[in-house]
Structure 1
């Protein structure tokens, strides 16, 4: 029993360091403390460990746990240090973006939303004043700590090659499903200012139109990511995309089935006439488009 107690006692500095870090991280993510305070805590913890190690350097005590704890606290400080470069007053502004017909004549229009990150302002009113003469501003969203932290982690993981952006994943999934690529696809995915994977379904449908596998004479707004097997995946920005589709007088909009409830709620709240249809995979989407073409041709 004495040996077990000693082992726990020796590990206490390392365990305590981990628990203190996690506690401060939770406080930061939930908005109880700022990023600056979070980093100051990590800096203080690192400095205290280094001072303590200096004091006991010549004493005959077990130092391994304190060395590991000091190393851990320094590594955590380095990992979290990019937070100091991020302004804590951040706002995300979503605004109108023109629907894009990737293949001319396909009548398949991908929907995207412009997102601006605004920092260096004191309050939301300053942001609104910046966009007072702009058209098509949909929402101004205060940046939360957990959003900032997630963006920081994503940037780090992308930089060291441990994470691929949704835009990169979309290119891989589209080309894997089609088992080929073309000039339009390559040009679209070569853009530097794009993000997300919501164009995947529209790109696949446009490609099928180009090679003759799909005949479509009905202008359709399309959003949805796809997997390598052609499953249609949930996407974000649904409220803004529905408004963009409606503002461009689309009669039909195709969305992932997983977004359908949200989309219908937005449609009802804004009282929009556009018909929104949910799909689960590419084959179902093609069948749906064929049905819509038959319905529209019978109206003539």
Structure 2
């Protein structure tokens, strides 16, 4: 019973601090610092009550919980300097010359230490960097980023580019010579180019013809299903700026894309697709060769 009570007490102490942290009441340094203080006082109480067996078990179990959670969250300190994420224009990529099938990357600029948003925007303008949006980083964002890093470090997840390449291979698009350099690019991350690469493979094999400039985004699964991606608003703005008449994107992102199109008063036509074959049919229809 004392052991269970100690576990519960340790969990309650942690959760009381965690709720304050995740709701931006305190920063990561205070959160980790208070966890350390809780651990310190638990050790002190354990020392003074060490001759009482029941209390010893209680404080040992409480301390165990606090130390485990402290170790789990200590990496948060690495993310404390992050203040904003800026997203902006990045030139679309046509890996096959004149295919008209464009990958839609998004420029992502992590910002650290800078709190003044206006000064930050002026800095981007001075460097001729076209920024669409600046989003403040919350403690929830930091916590999610930390957990993703831990999952990747432990080998539970793969990076987006590796996953995308493996899914394309599983679907039958392996050894894409035109994409070799793409997978080596350091400034691109994520899996949102999967659909475009699959369609380019079809184009490269002569299975698909295209004469219409089309922006394409979407992650591809092993069975060819197209899954949702981020940065939809930015990708539509880039497509509009480049003069693309159409954008093909995941059906799961269609509502978001439609709202962005209306809010930004864009002319580009959007097409939501379920899988890669559906996307290929859309391209054939746009080219009048269905």
TM-score bracket for the superposition, by shorter chain length: over 0.9
1:280 counterpart = 2:268: no
Task: Measure, in 1, the Cα distance between the counterparts of 2:13 and 2:151.
Answer: 24
- How far apart are residue 69 of structure 1 and its match? 2.1
Q: How do 1:154-173 residues align onto structure 2 when only pairs under 5 Å count?
A: 154-173=148-167
- How far apart are residue 129 of structure 1 and its match? 2.5
Q: 2:145 aligns with which of 129, 151, 157?
A: 151
Q: What secondary structure, in the 3-state scheme, does the structure 2 residue paired with 1:63 have?
A: helix
Q: Which residue of 1 aligns with 2:30?
A: 37
Task: Measure, in 1, the Cα distance between the counterparts of 2:141 and 2:55.
Answer: 41
Contact 2:87/2:132, CA 8 A, preserved across alignment: yes
Task: Measure, in 2, the Cα distance between the counterparts of 1:10 and 1:286.
Answer: 61
Q: 1:63 aligns with which of 52, 56, 64?
A: 56
- CA-to-partner distance for each residue in 1:196-240, whole Å, 9 max, x for gaps? 211010000001111122122222110111111111111111111
User: Are the structure 2 counterparts of residues 89 and 154 from structure 1 closer, same or farther at C-alpha, using a change threshold of 3 Å?
Assistant: closer
- CA-to-partner distance for each residue in 1:9-51, whole Å, 9 max, x for gaps? 5421210111221232122112122112211121011111221
Contact 2:6/2:60, CA 8 A, preserved across alignment: no
1:186 counterpart = 2:180: yes
Task: Measure, in 1, the Cα distance between the counterparts of 2:46 and 2:177.
Answer: 61
- CA-to-partner distance for each residue in 1:97-122, whole Å, 9 max, x for gaps? 00001222322101011111111113
User: Are the structure 2 counterparts of residues 89 and 288 from structure 1 closer, same or farther at C-alpha, using a change threshold of 3 Å?
Assistant: closer
Moved more, 71-80 or 279-288: 71-80
Q: Which residue of 1 aligns with 2:238?
A: 244
Q: Which residue of 1 aligns with 2:99?
A: 106
Q: How do 1:98-137 residues align onto structure 2 when only pairs under 5 Å count?
A: 98-133=91-126, 134-137=128-131
Provide runs of 4+ in structure 1 moved above 6 Å.
none
CA RMSD in angstroms comes to: 1.9
Contact 2:36/2:70, CA 8 A, preserved across alignment: yes
Matched residue pairs, number?
289
User: Are the structure 2 counterparts of residues 95 and 179 from structure 1 closer, same or farther at C-alpha, using a change threshold of 3 Å?
Assistant: closer
Structure 1 or 2, whichever has the larger Rg, is: 1
- How far apart are residue 84 of structure 1 and its match? 2.0
User: Are the structure 2 counterparts of residues 295 and 171 from structure 1 closer, same or farther at C-alpha, using a change threshold of 3 Å?
Assistant: closer
User: Are the structure 2 counterparts of residues 59 and 12 from structure 1 closer, same or farther at C-alpha, using a change threshold of 3 Å?
Assistant: closer
Moved more, 280-289 or 15-24: 15-24
Contact 2:27/2:80, CA 8 A, preserved across alignment: no
TM-score w.r.t. the length of structure 1 is 0.90
Task: Measure, in 2, the Cα distance between the counterparts of 1:232 and 1:139.
Answer: 26
TM-score w.r.t. the length of structure 2 is 0.93
Q: 1:221 aligns with which of 215, 222, 230?
A: 215
Contact 1:103/1:207, CA 8 A, preserved across alignment: no
Q: 2:229 aligns with which of 235, 243, 255?
A: 235
1:266 counterpart = 2:266: no
